[in-house]
Chain A
Amino acid sequence: MGKYICDICGYVYEMGRGDPENGVETGTPFDEIDDDWVCPECGAGKDNFSPLD
């Protein structure tokens, strides 16, 4: 749980890691990330992410 994959480039968002370099604190659930956050790898928007089993 808490992992989402960027369908565009394959980057995986992990809640336990967050994306602190881009203002997403460690522990932030994917749903609570700001809508204007983008994939740190390829720049794709948040709606390009899918939950990873």
Chain B
Amino acid sequence: MKDTFKAVKIFDDVYWVGAIDWDVRQFHGYLTSRGTTYNAFLILADKITLIDTVKAPFADEMFARIASVVDPDKIDYIVSNHAEMDHSGSLPAAIEGIKPEKVFASKMGAKALGRHFDLPCDITVVSDGETLDLGSEKITFAETKMCHWPDSMITYQHGRQILFTQDAFGMHLAGFERYADEYDRAIVDYETAKYYANILMHLASFIDKALEKLGTLNLDISMIAPDHGPIRRTGEDIAGIINSYAKWSAQEPTGKVVVVYDSMWGSTARMAGAIGEGLSAGGAKAKLMSMSACHRSDVVTEILDAGGLVIGSATMNNDIQPAMADVTTYLGGLKPRNLAAGAFGSYGWSGEAPKNLQKWLTDLGLNVIADPLRVNYVPDADDLAKCRQFGVDIAKATLASLED
């Protein structure tokens, strides 16, 4: 296999030895439309070191890539930056096959790995800021708790100035090109934002801490090498993603308003259309997303840089529709902030859905600007005019919030 699956040289002494997963589409609720990569890196220092591994079914691919540059037996150290199984799944096989001198992880990493696997060796716990001498090279570890899990840490390679950032700064994008600048810019930007929105949005306070730590460490960074998707190597790409993370963690609102809804017989969809007309007339950039047509993870991505959220559902069996329960559960966990908000929906006789959605918005701490807008059965011309006005009002509140 090593003649087919080869390591990709990053520097003479650093290789990418990960795996490409073209097929994956469901990533614990996140639609990975463009597949992904599981990145592992090999540092050919005096102490040969493997940084992270790949998802278990791809172990053979990783071993083949390693074997294309070095006999796996020669690897001295394995570093586990993140215990989640898409990065640790091949760790038991790696330990078995390589028999490394030591395996390193953060304190919480050692604990998490111990709960995942029955490993044949102890994990050596590294502390925040600890530097490991690899002979011809040095690496330093920095804890980045909750970016993405309690165990998450990043590893900095001094000589080549590479920051191995596990899930942080990553994206789900399959491809043979290893650098972000080799892809269509719009795709890279979208997938980076989608990754942040779906994986990290609710962890903003931890992102801030990690960015602050990076600032304090004042590292010279020539590359950001995450565990998913391409590496960033240009100054523009490196500064760009750090700035994007700072912007997203603040969730600064914009003039975009996302209307998320589901409809039974088209009435709530008609309301959404009229609300969209009002939002647009009121100066907002409206985006309508029917849950019969859109995926929850694309909704979250749109909300990441929005300033308003309007949410609607027909009342079915005295509650919201199942697709709305899905998206509100998912979105609620990701804790969107700084949004002007409103709820709406059509109903037949009881009409709980808009009220329940209004409560959901309120509980999230969003700026709910009006009573829920309800229409009995089918909206007539007067109802649609009210919907339009509802949209205008939410547009005004959204734009006003930008001036605060």
Contacts and interface: CB of A to CB of B under 8 A. Distances in A.
Interface of A: 7-10, 41-42
B205 A7 contact: no
Summarize A's interface: helix, strand, loop or mixed: loop
A8 B206 CA distance: 12
A8 B107 CA distance: 10
B175 interface: no
A10 to B, nearest CB: 5
Interface in B205-249: 205-206, 209
Contacts of A9: 145-146, 150, 206
Interface string B142-170: 01011000100000000000000000000
A8 B108 CA distance: 7
Interface string B195-213: 0000000000110010000
Shortest beta-carbon contacts, A-B, top 8: A8-B150, A10-B145, A9-B146, A9-B145, A42-B146, A9-B150, A41-B205, A7-B108
Summarize B's interface: helix, strand, loop or mixed: helix
A9 B207 CA distance: 12
Nearest to B107: A7
Contacts of B145: 8-10
Contacts of B209: 10
Nearest to A48: B150
18 contacts: A7-B107, A7-B108, A7-B150, A8-B108, A8-B145, A8-B146, A8-B150, A9-B145, A9-B146, A9-B150, A9-B206, A10-B143, A10-B145, A10-B209, A41-B205, A41-B206, A42-B146, A42-B150
A42 B145 CA distance: 10
Interface string B103-118: 0000110000000000
A37 to B, nearest CB: 19
Given A8-B146, A10-B209, A41-B205, 7 more contacts: A7-B107, A7-B108, A8-B108, A9-B146, A9-B150, A9-B206, A42-B150
B152 to A, nearest CB: 11
Contacts of B205: 41
Contacts of A41: 205-206
A17 B146 CA distance: 24
A10 B108 CA distance: 11
Interface in B56-88: none
A16 B197 CA distance: 36
Nearest to B146: A9
A1 to B, nearest CB: 22
